[in-house]
Amino acid sequence: WLHNPFQSFLRSQAGDVTYLPEHYVADVIRPLADLGIHFRGSVHVEAMPDDGADELDWVEGMIETGRCSYVKGFVASCDLTLETAEEEMERLRRASPARLRGVRWILNCVGKYRGGTTATHVGTLRHDGVDYLREPDFERGLASLEKQNLSFDLQCAPIQLVQSAAALFAKYPNLKVCIDHMGTPRAILGNDLLDDGSGINPNDIPDEDELKAWREGMTE
């Protein structure tokens, strides 16, 4: 799927990856059915496309042909700092008038991207080192999002929850916000694997400073 023309950024970071609806059925839906769990549907969350509406068009096409009829909603990509953000939201609505629920733009930023050694996400290479949560243009886009009655998926670092996100989103009480990945507490328990790569990290010694910041941010 990374051969799609709207995925040049993700392809530049992830390489040649193919994961299609059929893989999802095999990996998720069938195993759940084997356990007696009825899978009722899913929400497609954006995957850092170059153009959010083009990504929706592509998935909508697969829904129409029955390849992923289980997709019931979309959280689409939209850079809220753009002067054309409202026009982009209208493009998203036209691409999926029945399924569009909200937007996401990955915000994890504690400085420039350092190859995954900090809480800064590779997605922020699109505005490397700029914390959108502190940018007036991003706040302008949030206000437009609230008027459009669309939700926002907030994916940021724990310290950003404390230092900027809580106060910013408090200004928009009618905006529905979903905190992605439980506030991304990436450093609290260390890496998933042991440092020498010999096995899975038991994750039993949390980083107390990170844990404190994450708790405070989630509370706020």
Can you give the pLDDT at residue 79? 98
Q: How many percent of the chain have pLDDT more than 70?
A: 95
Alpha-carbon 95 to chain mean position: 19
**For 98-116, how does the pLDDT look when each residue is reduced to its tens digit (9 = 90+)?**
999 999 999 999 999 998 8
Can you give the pLDDT at residue 208? 81
Residue 185, CA distances (Å) to 87, 130, 191, 192 in order = 34, 20, 11, 12
Yes or no: say if 194 and 202 are a contact pair by the CB < 8 Å rule.
Answer: no
**In terms of Cα–Cα distance, which of 195, 109, 88 is closest to 155?**
109
Can you give the pLDDT at residue 190? 67
Q: CA-to-CA distance for 154 and 161, rounded, in angstroms?
A: 9
Q: CA-to-CA distance for 125 and 219, rounded, in angstroms?
A: 29
Yes or no: say if 81 and 136 are a contact pair by the CB < 8 Å rule.
Answer: no
Tell me what the mean pLDDT of segment 163-187 comes to.
92
74 forms beta bridges with 44, 100
Structure tokens at 56: 């929706």
Is the pLDDT at 64 greater than 90, yes or no?
A: yes
Query: Taking every pair of C-alpha atoms in the chain, what is the biggest distance, in angstroms?
Result: 51
Can you give the pLDDT at residue 4? 87
Question: Which has the higher per-residue pLDDT, 125 or 192?
Answer: 125
Can you give the pLDDT at residue 132? 97
Tell me what the mean pLDDT of segment 152-170 comes to.
94
Q: CA-to-CA distance for 200 and 198, rounded, in angstroms?
A: 7
- Is the Cα torsion angle 74, 80, 82, 83 positive or negative in sign? positive
Can you give the pLDDT at residue 2? 61
**pLDDT band per the 50, 70, 90 thresholds, residue 211:** confident
Map tokens 């609505």 to a residue: 93
Is the pLDDT at 187 greater than 70, yes or no?
A: no
Yes or no: say if 28 and 145 are a contact pair by the CB < 8 Å rule.
Answer: no
**In terms of Cα–Cα distance, which of 132, 133, 126, 124 is closest to 169?**
133
**For 43-61, how does the pLDDT look when each residue is reduced to its tens digit (9 = 90+)?**
999 999 999 999 999 999 9
Can you give the pLDDT at residue 1? 63
